[in-house]
Amino acid sequence: MLEATPLGDGWTLRHDSEPIPATVPGCVHTDLMAAGVIPDPFLGLGETEVAWVARRDWTYEREIGGSPGQEQTDLVFDGLDTVAEISLDGRLLGTVRNMHRSYRFDVTGLSGRLSVRFVSAYAEAEAVRGRVGERPAAYAEPYQYLRKMACSFGWDWGPTLVTAGIWRPVRLERWSTARIARVRPLVTVEEGTGVVELAVDVERTRVEAPLAVEATVAGVRTRAEIEGAGGVVRLRVPDARLWWPRGYGEHPLYDVELKLLHGEDALDVWRRRVGFRTVELDRRPDAHGTGFTLVVNGERLFARGVNWIPDDVFPSRITRERYRERLEQAAGAGVDLVRIWGGGIYESEDFYDACDELGLLVWQDFPFACAAYPEEQPLRGEVEAEARENVVRLMPHPSLVLWNGNNENLWGFRDWEWEPRLAGDSWGEGYYLGVLPRLVAELDPTRPYTAGSPWSGSWEHHPNDPAHGTHHSWEVWNREDYADYRLSVPRFVAEFGWQAPPAYTTLRRALPGEELAPDSPGMLHHQKADDGNGKLERGLERHFAVPDGDFDRWHYLMQLNQARAVAAGIEHWRSHWPVCAGTIVWQLNDCWPVTSWAAIDGDGREKPLYHELRRLYADRLLTFQERDGRLVLAAVNQGREEWRGTLTLRRMSVEGEMLGRTEVELTAGARTVARVDVPRELTPLGPKEFLVADAGAVADSGADADSGTDADSAVVADSGTGADSGADAEGLRALHFPVPDREVPYPAPRFEVALAPGGITVTARTLVRDLLLQADRLDPGARADRGRVTLLPGEQVTIGVRGWKTPDAETARSALYCVETAR
């Protein structure tokens, strides 16, 4: 039987000829930090102090012993970052140049000093650029000239920390006669029967040895002889339970085991988990353009998605537990699809295992982003080799439903002045429209492939045409008001987003000793977007006066504006299902503490946007929208059951007076959107009025804002400009304010705060708009269970808080913010 010996211990890293202890898996930066050679680049301006690390060559070393008892010994690296020369006892084993591949070297009979010498990624990239010629890119760094995680060279949300190191596990494998070199599993469903087809490749030391494979799944067992270098074994699982995305059903997984046999002796074994499901991508043309709808097990989906970037700029630090925590946060926000963005990596098995278990669909970009990529050698061969390896590696995972060729490169060629600059040079089109679709069709015909994001499906349409295929909506963030999301109905919004600073405690940790201000040195350094603060302020001033000299108020309003902006887009696009078939918010997570588009900051704390996503991605959503000049209430029902109930509409004054009321019956079929016209007499007029819609129990609160009535009606809705709703057992709510907040004469807010079991209760005596508890201000480890909420006079909300060590009502009040107090 094949024996595997991990080689994680005993490594040293040479720094100025002096060895320091090294951790494998790891990287140069983390080892230098552990040794006290460099500061933490995440803190203050530390990133600039460690820039020299990326310009150096580095060597990892350790001793390895001999290999008695087996015919062959292989040295196996699951990941080397990136350009390296591997030697054992002074003998060169080989050179590598791709972070996204694994490597295997025959070291039979060898022992001694193992050396892995890494060349500076900058030196390699500049050498390749000299050979193939200059190519344009969105950033000045040379990331397109080597197969490495592009965002380690910096991005508009990430630091420039160009890593090197043994970033995935390394081991010795000792074996005799034969081993399993590769298993390519095709998992399908045929007329209710699950089918697993395993194409097996073997490596032999003895060509004449008779071999067989024995495969089992769900109690079904079969055996087949192996001729030459491989064979195929096929199993059928009657009545296989289907794997469904979260919100649509369960996610059953089946253990698959394949043994390689010589007679009755097991030589090697391959184990994975699979799930039975079908997936299609409906791209048929229709009256609205060209669709882009995921279909799983015959069910058409509105994809509720988030974009994923590497969760740490040093990905070797991301543990299985951290992946699980972050993806559970995604599932907890109602997300059912995670797009792995093309400037990062093919993630570890831990990531995809968690997605399989949680029912999270995975859209997998190939690692190309925001640049023209040369198609000459040495890159072309590396691209094909990495694609072949990773397609086969990831095939077992039922969560993986889509392969995508690149991020924004087809769009960049057309719109970013690449075409004239390239003057006929290669730029990646041959990968996205040639190599990659060919490989996916050959290796993994069970999943659809799309050439890029955005991509309209062909050059007959603009690559980012909202009427055709996938669309990236960035004009709004860069130049316009977020209300302009409502001006178009893309077929699938694969990227859009709005920035906000991270949690207050995250900033305090990352910028120790700094007096925080929007333009303080550390805040500016941890804002990587071009004119990021300018865009934040211009986006805010359309709705609020930008605070001057009050950082806490600025911080609250920027986080609120992010939540409102994303809400404006998702509510509008969901109300247009099935024309629009999905939204993928940029972005779920951060790789360090930074002002960015993320819903979860670099320390893992949820921003208000996170809680907003829980509302926006719930199965049921109420939202006010305009249709043909009329205000309508859209009831979005993505649940599997019909939604029937009574809607209560109330026209209110900001002082709490009810100006009109009606009730209407609602019927929204499963996976449909129902629309109700708002009576003209209930349409709010001017800055002093707004409209409330509730589905579920409604208390007539607010007839007199100063009456002191103790209606104490539980509220379940958040609110904001345009339309908002929330989900809870009591019902849903939407609100519509006809003018920006800066024009609304809000009353001075009055509310009471009391401790409650596991949190606090807030009771409003006036209109309290967008109340938010910043729980980390109570305790660095504290988390609130909800985001912004609007209370009408007399309404009450209980906010759960976990991790709060010393609860106190007055302390809680100091961490509560609302629109009126932030004007």
User: What are the pLDDT digits (tens) for 333-361?
Assistant: 999 999 999 999 999 999 999 999 999 99
Q: Which residues pair with 254 in a beta bridge?
A: 274
What local confidence, expressed as pLDDT, does residue 731 receive? 66
Over residues 102-123, the pLDDT tens digits come to 999 999 999 999 999 999 999 9
For helices 551-574 and 608-616, what crossing angle results, to 10°?
20
What local confidence, expressed as pLDDT, does residue 723 receive? 37
The 3 state secondary structure assigned to 465-505 is CCCECEEEECHHHHHCCHHHHHHCCCCEEEEECCCECCCHH
Over residues 765-777, the pLDDT tens digits come to 999 999 999 999 9
Tell how strand 658-668 and strand 103-106 pair up. unpaired
Residues 458-483 as b/e (b if ≥16 CB within 10 A, e otherwise) read eeeeebbbbbbbbbbbeebbeeeebb
What local confidence, expressed as pLDDT, does residue 697 receive? 52
How confident is residue 160, by pLDDT bands cut at 50, 70 and 90? very high
User: Three-state SS for 456?
Assistant: coil
- Token code pair at residue 80: 């080397």
Q: Phi and psi (nearest 5°) for 668? A: -125, 115
What local confidence, expressed as pLDDT, does residue 66 receive? 79
* Domain assignments of the chain as residue spans, ordered by start: 3-173, 177-274, 310-365+466-617, 620-822
Q: Would the pLDDT of 1 be above 60?
A: yes
**Mean pLDDT computed over 172-191:** 97
Q: Would the pLDDT of 720 be above 70?
A: no
Under CATH, which number does the domain 177-274 receive? Answer: 2.60.40.10
Tell me the average pLDDT of the chain.
94
Q: Are 750 and 769 in contact (CB under 8 A)?
A: no
Options 141, 408, 606, 689, the catalytic residue: 408
Q: Give dist(CA 669, CA 636) in Å, integer.
A: 9
Q: Are 540 and 523 in contact (CB under 8 A)?
A: no
Catalytic residue flag (residue 408): yes
Q: Would the pLDDT of 624 be above 80?
A: yes
Question: 37 in the Ramachandran plot: left (φ > 0), alpha (ψ -120 to 50) or beta?
Answer: alpha
How confident is residue 718, by pLDDT bands cut at 50, 70 and 90? very low
| CA nearest neighbour of 746 among 636, 823, 645 | 823
What local confidence, expressed as pLDDT, does residue 416 receive? 97
Q: Would the pLDDT of 657 be above 80?
A: yes
State which amino acid sits at residue 36.
G
What local confidence, expressed as pLDDT, does residue 698 receive? 45
Spatial CB neighbours of 497, under 8 Å, sequence gap ≥ 6: 477, 566, 585, 586, 587, 597
What local confidence, expressed as pLDDT, does residue 207 receive? 86
- Token code pair at residue 92: 């060169």
Which stretch of 134-143, 574-583, 692-701, 707-716 has the lowest confidence by average pLDDT? 707-716
Over residues 463-489, the pLDDT tens digits come to 999 999 999 999 999 999 999 999 999
CA atoms within 13 A on the CB side of 217: 32
Does the domain at residues 3-173 carry the CATH identifier 3.90.1720.10?
Answer: no
DSSP secondary structure, 687-732, as one string: TTEEEEEEEE----TTSSTTS-----EE------SS-----STTEE
Q: What is the percent of the chain where pLDDT is above 70?
A: 95
Q: Would the pLDDT of 132 be above 50?
A: yes
The H or E element containing residue 268 is strand 265-274
What local confidence, expressed as pLDDT, does residue 463 receive? 98
How confident is residue 714, by pLDDT bands cut at 50, 70 and 90? very low
User: Three-state SS for 396?
Assistant: coil
**What is the CATH class of 310-365+466-617?**
alpha beta
Whole-model pTM: value is: 0.95
Q: Are 820 and 791 in contact (CB under 8 A)?
A: no
Q: Are 474 and 467 in contact (CB under 8 A)?
A: no
Which stretch of 317-321, 437-441, 695-699, 744-748 has the lowest confidence by average pLDDT? 695-699
**Mean pLDDT computed over 148-168:** 98
Q: Which residues pair with 692 in a beta bridge?
A: 650, 735
